């Protein structure tokens, strides 16, 4: 079937796969779930991918490089697990906001409110712009060993450690407020930003919160919580 012209654009299949994997996780998602979303038969989906692993790769590629799926030959073949990690490593290196998050002490040697605001803006901007792929990886990582190590250890844990170092240095300098527990404060910052930038979109009670209002409110409240008032 390789080279056969499919009935639907591969991008549509990729979008359906993103939705299914992000909702169900890797283990619970199935070929039939994606085919049902597309209105195709179970067997017809094998025109596009050779396996569930290939379908997950297609979903990830759509998230990190949306136009790249249009260059793939069908059926898309399942990559080695390390190839998926390499795809995500390449993508994460392209995210300029993360330069701020990864080296926060280099961002703000004086730790003033403006610099802490820049850190908040960088984290919010990354999560807001990349929410589809972050939610997809977060939902599936625990069920895939290579992805779990990359996401939970190399990325999320590292980000929290860097952010904790930033808070400690700011507290020592007197430019940030003391907090009862620095790791908990770092997690509070990350989870607050993540909920408003990403997760509120799936909450029916949050429909009245538009993007700009959410962004400005999170920035305002985090600055008020961590930066002492002048004087």
Does some domain include residue 5?
A: no
- DSSP letters spanning 47-113: GTBSSHHHHHHHHHHHHHSGGGGGG--SSBPPPPHHHHHHHHHHHHHT-THHHHHHSHHHH-TT--H
The burial class, CB within 10 Å (0-12 / 13-18 / 19+), for 68 is middle
pLDDT, tens digit (0-9, with 9 covering 90-100), for 158-203: 889 989 999 998 999 888 999 999 999 999 999 999 999 999 998 9
Show which of 79, 113, 128 is a domain's final residue.
79
pLDDT, tens digit (0-9, with 9 covering 90-100), for 19-35: 999 999 999 999 999 99
pLDDT, tens digit (0-9, with 9 covering 90-100), for 33-77: 999 999 998 889 999 999 999 999 999 999 999 999 999 999 999
Mean pLDDT over each residue of the chain, to the nearest integer: 87
Judge whether residue 7 has pLDDT over 90.
Answer: no
Same domain, 64 and 95: no
Judge whether residue 230 has pLDDT over 50.
Answer: yes
Same domain, 49 and 120: no
Q: CA–CA separation, 201 vs 131, rounded Å?
A: 10
Judge whether residue 110 has pLDDT over 90.
Answer: no
Q: CA–CA separation, 36 vs 88, rounded Å?
A: 28
Judge whether residue 106 has pLDDT over 60.
Answer: no
The pLDDT, as a whole number, for residue 114 is: 59
- Binned at pLDDT 50, 70 and 90, residue 98 comes out as low
Same domain, 126 and 19: no
Same domain, 19 and 95: no
Place of tokens 């995500």: 88
Q: What's the mean pLDDT in 205-223?
A: 95
Owning domain of residue 110: 84-226
The pTM of this model reads 0.85
Show which of 46, 79, 112 is a domain's final residue.
79
Same domain, 131 and 57: no
At 76, give phi and psi (nearest 5°).
Answer: -70, 135
- Binned at pLDDT 50, 70 and 90, residue 229 comes out as confident
Same domain, 39 and 75: yes
Residue 169, H or E segment = helix 158-173
Which CATH number goes with the domain that contains 105? 1.10.357
């Amino acid at each position: 079937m390789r080279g056969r012209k499919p009935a639907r654009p591969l991008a549509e299949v990729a979008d359906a796969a993103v939705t299914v994997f992000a909702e169900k996780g890797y283990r619970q998602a199935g070929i039939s779930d994606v085919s049902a979303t597309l209105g195709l038969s179970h067997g017809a989906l094998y025109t596009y991918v050779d396996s569930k692993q290939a379908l997950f790769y297609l979903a990830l590629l759509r998230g990190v490089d949306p136009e790249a799926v249009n260059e793939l030959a069908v059926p898309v073949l399942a990559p080695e697990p390390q190839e998926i990690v390499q795809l995500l490593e390449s993508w994460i290196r392209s995210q300029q906001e993360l330069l701020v998050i990864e080296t926060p002490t280099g961002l703000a040697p004086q730790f003033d409110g403006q610099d802490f605001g820049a850190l908040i803006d960088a984290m919010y901007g990354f999560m807001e712009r990349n929410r589809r792929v972050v939610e997809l990886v977060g939902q599936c990582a625990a069920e895939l060993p290579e992805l779990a190590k990359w996401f939970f250890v190399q990325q999320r844990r590292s980000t929290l450690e860097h952010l904790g170092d930033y808070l400690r240095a700011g507290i020592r300098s007197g430019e940030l407020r003391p907090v009862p527990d620095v790791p908990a404060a770092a997690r509070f910052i990350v989870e607050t930003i993540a909920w408003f930038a990403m997760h509120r979109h799936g909450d029916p009670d949050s429909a009245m919160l538009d993007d700009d209002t959410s962004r400005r409110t999170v920035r305002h409240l985090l600055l008020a919580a961590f930066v002492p008032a002048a004087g």
